[in-house]
Structure 1
């Protein structure tokens, strides 16, 4: 029982952020001289694992661990759609569908609730609610 309590007290909430601009370089280690792993466009979500000085260790959707500069982390949050999904008028499975979104579409995350839904906004301006399990980066 004490082991479970210790594990629970050490648990932290998952923190997601997004890339701040086009051309964000993901590095192998927290140094400008380290190997470059890949480059991503703006608004791509990632999970924050830790911070070290001006660097952030992140995990992408595929589980790859990398480092990016803190200056490349956006204050705006985006999610990436996992599969063809409905965006609804309200946080309810019976609410009217406003539009459908394809896999990999990026949506701005406006608000999250404890109901299993998040409020999102499409780049064309439409906003509504999508099930949390239909996106990555929430």
Structure 2
């Protein structure tokens, strides 16, 4: 009996630490039970990024672009630790974040194709740094919309979606 509870306690400690478990289970947030890390978007026109998870912590900098994709790496109460594509991060109140997904274009003049195939017609080109709405993703291609244009682009030409992530 003591042995079983000790093993259970050790397994629980490993799961809370974020270390990989034997089953390869992905870490889950202690507040939302959603996967960590995960991508979301900044829904506010301005979002303070704080040094710690409370209003009493100093503001280190401010997101000033609505729909900017960020990656949540930790949760604490109503606060989410996030980082941007440059690796800069801090704590943001959850009310300033949205599950509506966006990506930022990492390749200048990224071609949007009418289908997920490089041989198909190009419907538009997106400049480096454009923020586009993420509609769906397969193994290699994602469907984006930006500025009234819609099309498919290679997943590796954007930031804000995981390389193995699929989205319907």
With normalisation by structure 1, the TM-score equals 0.88
Cα-Cα RMSD: 1.7
Corresponding residue for residue 9 of structure 1? 24
Return closer, same or farther for 1:8/1:100 CA change in 2, 3 Å cut-off.
farther
Q: How many residues align?
A: 132
Correspondence for 1:47 among 43, 60, 71: 71
| CA shift for structure 1 position 74 | 1.1
Q: How does 1:1-138 map to 2 (within 5 A)?
A: 6=21, 9-12=24-27, 14-40=37-63, 41-84=65-108, 85-114=110-139, 116-122=140-146, 124-138=147-161
Secondary structure, aligned partner of 2:142: strand
Q: Check whether the contact 2:49–2:89 (CA below 8 A) recurs between aligned residues.
A: no
Cα displacement string for residues 11-59 of structure 1 (whole angstroms, at most 9, x for unaligned residues): 4564100001101111111011211121112100011112111000111
| Distance in 1 between residues matched to 2:124 and 2:107, nearest whole Å | 14
Distance (whole Å) between structure 2 residues aligned to residue 112 and residue 86 of structure 1 = 16
Partner Cα separation in structure 1 for residue 116 and residue 22 of structure 2: 33
What residue ranges of structure 1 are gaps of 5+ in the alignment? none
TM-score under structure 2 normalisation?
Answer: 0.73
Tell which structure's C-alpha radius of gyration is larger.
2
Runs of 4+ in 1 over 3 A off after TM superposition: 5-8, 10-14
